[in-house]
Structure formats: structure tokens, C-alpha cells
């Protein structure tokens, strides 16, 4: 059994107009420290929460983005530009890895092979 969400990722990228952005090889930079920076500019909660909700749904089959998404989830009530930039980087990573899928072989043990 294969679990693929490539079509869903393509739809998300198109919905948020991120389908033509440059790709990223990792979902978040190693030294990215998200915090509640008071001096940073506010962004729309509705858009941010929509993006996060989409990523949470996707996270069920894409464990490679779990840490990054969970880090961004904490700022849903008062998102700033730096938080939105981090979420957009996750989407840029998904642009490059949209064809990753889960495979459960028939008749075998339930070890996960990606």
C-alpha cells in the first residue's frame, strides 16, 4: 500500500501562490530561533492558521516536516512576519519533496520504508 500526498501538496502550493518559488533542501534552517519578537510586523492570523492547518493534515504522512510544523504552530494566535517566513520555507521544502510517499509492503511486517 502506498500513501501519497503529492497532489495535495501541489494544490496547497497553488492555493498559497508558492508553486513558483525556489526550492529548499531542508524545512527549516538549523539556527532558526522563532520567538515572539515584539518589533516584528504582524501578519494575517487567518492566512497563517490556514497554512498551519494544511501542514498539520499533511504531517500525518510526512514526518520529515513534523518538528518544523510543530515549532510554527505555537505562534498561531499572534503570527509575525518571521513566523510566516518559516512556514513558507516549509512549503518551499515541500516543493522539492512533493513526491515522497509511504510504502507498506503486502504480507510483510509493518516496518516503514520511505
pLDDT of residue 9: 92
Query: Which pTM value belongs to this model?
Result: 0.84
Distance, CA of 28 to CA of 61 (rounded, Å): 18
3-state secondary structure of 20: coil
Number of H helices, E strands in the chain: 4, 2
Question: What mean pLDDT do residues 69-81 have?
Answer: 91
Question: What mean pLDDT do residues 83-92 have?
Answer: 93
Give 25's contacts (C-beta < 8 A, 6+ positions apart): 93, 96
Domain positions in the chain: 2-18+41-103
Query: Whose CA is closest to 66, among 74, 76, 55, 77?
Result: 55
Look at the alpha carbons of 25, 27, 32, 36 in this order and tell me if their dihedral is positive or negative.
Answer: positive
pLDDT of residue 113: 65
Tell me what percent of the residues of the chain surpass a pLDDT of 70: 94
Is it the case that residue 47 has pLDDT exceeding 90? yes
Residue pointed to by grid coordinates 513558483: 20
Q: What is the mean pLDDT of the chain?
A: 87
Cα–Cα separations (whole angstroms), residue 71 to 2, 40, 51, 83, 108: 28, 18, 14, 9, 35
Q: How confident is the model at residue 96 (pLDDT cuts 50, 70, 90)?
A: confident
Amino acid at each position: 500500500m502506498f500513501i501519497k500526498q503529492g497532489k495535495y501538496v501541489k494544490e496547497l502550493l497553488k492555493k498559497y501562490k508558492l508553486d513558483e518559488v525556489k526550492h529548499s533542501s531542508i524545512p527549516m534552517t538549523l539556527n532558526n530561533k522563532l520567538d515572539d519578537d515584539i518589533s516584528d510586523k504582524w501578519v494575517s492570523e487567518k492566512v497563517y492558521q490556514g497554512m498551519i492547518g494544511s501542514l498539520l493534515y499533511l504531517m500525518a504522512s510526512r514526518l520529515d516536516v513534523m518538528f518544523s510544523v510543530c515549532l510554527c504552530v505555537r505562534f498561531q494566535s499572534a503570527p509575525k512576519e518571521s513566523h510566516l517566513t518559516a512556514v513558507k520555507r516549509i512549503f518551499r521544502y515541500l516543493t522539492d519533496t512533493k513526491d515522497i510517499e509511504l510504502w507498506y509492503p503486502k504480507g510483510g511486517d509493518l516496518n516503514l520504508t520511505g
